[in-house]
Structure 1
Amino acid sequence: MQSFIRTDQYHYIQEQARTLVNSRSSTNDQDVTSAIKAMTQEKVIDLFHNLTEDQKQMIAQIDQVKDEADALFFLSRLKQYILPFPSITENEIKQLFPKAKKINVPNLEDVSWNQLSYLGWNDPGSLKKYIVTRRNGDLIGLQGSFTPSSQPGICTICHETEDVGMFAITKKGKGPEQTITRGNYICQDSDQCNRNLTDAYSLHQFIDRLQA
């Protein structure tokens, strides 16, 4: 069977499996349990379009999750079918930022590509943050200033409460001296943000807004 699960979809299923385990441990009412099980199964199947019968049967097995051990076994099977973020080279990354004189690219050998919806890293020395992802099949690089917040907040990308900072991009406006700055609060830790992300649409929306 070919890989067919995006990273954000896997994280969503992981979240639903956790919710299912918690609901089973909090009630002995079989009708309630059956309803939650059916609703959870429907949610995860609806994530996908054009599933093969084998793929659908595999996803549907979430209804068999009763405890943590079942959830771990189920998720470990799904993990084999994650579509990894396409690995890229340091040179490809640098080509995305032609105006940057020096970029401290992270060690790409340490990157877990099958856990990423986007590659992001901080450069504290220059007070910048870099984001690399794919949008409509093309590699996109975003470079912006990054100012960490002194208190936790809700990330615009993953919508979870984490340590965040203001990521902002400044572009030239229509006038010769006019500039436009767009930005929002996102996770300081991009790896944690990726682990939280259960819907790639919010990532794409964030990127589109900054590029507008």
Structure 2
Amino acid sequence: MIHVKENNDKIGTNDNRPEPFIRNDQYNFIKDQTQILVNGQATGNDAEVLNVLRHLAHEKVFKLFPSLDAEQKAVLNPLASVKETADAEIFLEQLSPYVIPFKNVTDQGLKKLFPKAKKLKGPKLDTVDFKKRSYLSWIESSTLMYMVLEKDGRFEAVHGSFTRSAKRGICSICNRHSEVGMFTAKTKGSSQDNFVKRGNYVCQDNEVCNSNINTLERLHEFAERLQK
């Protein structure tokens, strides 16, 4: 038996526990590392190999947070004790209070981000779990896709057409194999009347994509390509 839950109880009773410091993509990265540890434990019993896996997982996760204080380290330290699926689930559950929600956005704020979309409906914000979002996206009129992401403390807005694909493929945002569609945005070219279309495949289900994304790098690159 491991003592992940005991560590959690000790942290959870601390009135001075850290403020949220883990982004959704970082949480997903940590989740991936717990799965590696669970798989390693299930497929091998070489203590040295398992110790190496735990060391690498610990190193990779702590590298995400260059300036951890002692309390934040205490939140992440139980990762090294994860062996089975139940351990991983307990550990990930204890991280939930420390996940930073996606920046607050309102219906009116979305309309300001997309001023040319006069009949913008937007997503049902009261049904969105913002702790599980690295970006916000939705589809209107079957083929119009809107996307909002945060960069350097500010919202960036991207919109374009979306065509579902009958085949599974690699999403350019989360880099996972899933049901995808072609997202295409039209931007101004070198002259006023010249437009350039750019696009790539993304997950059809943005909830799936948000649960898979483990780095913001590809998301920001995707948005930059479409806005050039």
Q: TM class, shorter-chain normalised?
A: over 0.9
| Alignment partners' CA distance in 2, 1:131 and 1:208 | 13
Task: Give how far 1:126 is off.
Answer: 5.0
Map of 1:191 onto structure 2: 207
Task: Give how far 1:26 is off.
Answer: 0.8
Map of 1:172 onto structure 2: 188
Q: What is the identity percentage for the equivalent residue pairs of Structure 1 and Structure 2?
A: 40
Structure 2 gap ranges (5+): 1-17
Whether the 8 Å contact between 1:130 and 1:143 is mirrored in structure 2 is yes
Residue 153 of structure 1: SS of its match in structure 2?
A: strand
Map 1:119-138 to 2 at 5 A: 119-123=136-140, 125-138=141-154
The answer to whether residue 169 in structure 2 is matched with residue 153 in structure 1 is yes
The answer to whether residue 63 in structure 2 is matched with residue 51 in structure 1 is no
Whether the 8 Å contact between 2:22 and 2:98 is mirrored in structure 1 is yes
Q: 1:139 aligns with which of 138, 143, 155?
A: 155
Structure 1 gap ranges (5+): none
User: How large is the RMSD of aligned CA atoms in angstroms?
Assistant: 1.1
Whether the 8 Å contact between 2:37 and 2:53 is mirrored in structure 1 is yes
Whether the 8 Å contact between 2:132 and 2:210 is mirrored in structure 1 is yes
Map 1:13-162 to 2 at 5 A: 13-123=30-140, 125-162=141-178
| Alignment partners' CA distance in 1, 2:180 and 2:221 | 18
How many residues were matched structurally? 211
| Alignment partners' CA distance in 2, 1:23 and 1:74 | 17
Deviations 1:81-140 (A, max 9, x none): 0010022110100111111121121111000000000001112x2511110111121111
Q: What amino acid is aligned across from residue 16 of structure 1 in structure 2?
A: Q
| Alignment partners' CA distance in 2, 1:36 and 1:107 | 41
Q: TM-score, normalised by structure 1?
A: 0.96
Q: TM-score, normalised by structure 2?
A: 0.89
